[in-house]
Copies of this chain bind each other. A is one copy, B any other.
Amino acid sequence: MEMNTPKRNSHSLIEVIEYNSKKYKEYTTETTKKYNFRLLGDIPEGNVRWINIDGQCSEEVLNKISDVFNIHPLVTKNILNNNQRAKIEEYEDFLYIVAKMIYYSGDELVLEHIRFILGKNYVISFGETKGDVFDDIRDKIRNEGTQIRKFGADYLMYSLLDAIVDGYLDVLEVLDEKIDTLEEQVIMNNSQERLYKIRKIKKILLNISKYIWPLREVTSLMGKESNQLIQPSTEPYIRDVYEHIAQAIETTETYREILTGLMELYVSNTSYKLNEIMKVLTIISTIFIPLTFIVGVYGMNFRYMPEIEYRWGYAITWAIMIAISSFMVYYFKKKKWF
């Protein structure tokens, strides 16, 4: 609702990265008609192949890929739908994983929908933009001797999820600063804009919470899955991602409580200010209203007003008025009204 979705590339490219602990290959293919999709599924023994498809994948291309990797038609239908929540589904020889990615692009928060298919020796990823968030992973693959080169497709999957979760933690760090700034502003100077900002951050946190909770379930299931796709040596890593997600969830909850407190502070500050203003009005009004009445009395034009004629009438009136106002100031001071 609040977040932006990135513009999708209309032309989808297939980016293939293939590696084992010794060799490494990387190329990009346009999905022209002549392309033989069979080749995509033909992975040499011992190699891991990462097939990354950016932009909206056309139904036609997707069907061909599904054919090659033997993907259930329901999954194919799901991949085309950008509106799903994060989840994991276990099929006979692959896992289907959906995740939401968020990151700041400039000042705007972007939400991206990413889907993965994890097979025995391949990962297929479907993003919406050219997934630069994964550049770090590409670099690690390019360098021989990195841990990722020693492990299989499940470790690649872990790396991808880890990058996504790190994105959440980065966004939360930005929000931390924003909340701190906002808090100072609310204490210094209340204005309606602060309220809108509180509200905006609250909605972002609401969305983060919505996206990250199912992700926890995803990693939890991946960790527990008595699945041959996740090797025991990768399990501690999955558990680690799970911990990061738990931390992000906790932080989100904490921030939401802090914002609720900030909201209360804002409301309380507003009513405090009204109070202060009301007090001044009361004191000034309460002092002058009786005095104004007194001067009104001697402004009357009755023919027979004895005080008017007295030599000291004017002076006595002043004395009375000063006495009344002094008493009032004293009374209010005693009541601690100012």
A contact set with B: CB distance below 8 Å:
1, 72-74, 78, 83-85, 87, 89, 91, 147, 176, 180, 187, 189, 192, 195-196, 199, 202-203, 206-207, 210, 236-237, 239-240, 243, 246-247, 250, 254, 257-258, 261, 263-275, 277-282, 284-286, 288-293, 295-305, 307-309, 311-314, 317, 336-337
Residue of B nearest to A85 (CB): B247
Q: Are B272 and A192 interface neighbours, CB within 8 A? A: yes
Residue of B nearest to A271 (CB): B270
Q: What secondary structure prevails in chain A residues at the interface with B?
A: helix
Partner of A313, one of B89, B203, B250, B302: B302
Q: Are B286 and A281 interface neighbours, CB within 8 A? A: yes
Q: Are A250 and B85 interface neighbours, CB within 8 A? A: yes
Q: How far in angstroms is the closest Cβ of chain B from A176?
A: 7
Residue of B nearest to A265 (CB): B199
Residue of B nearest to A338 (CB): B277
Q: Are B317 and A302 interface neighbours, CB within 8 A? A: yes
| Residues of chain B contacted by A275 (CB below 8 angstroms) | 270, 273-274
| Residues of chain B contacted by A312 (CB below 8 angstroms) | 304
Q: How far is the CA of A1 from the CA of B255 in the complex (A)?
A: 10
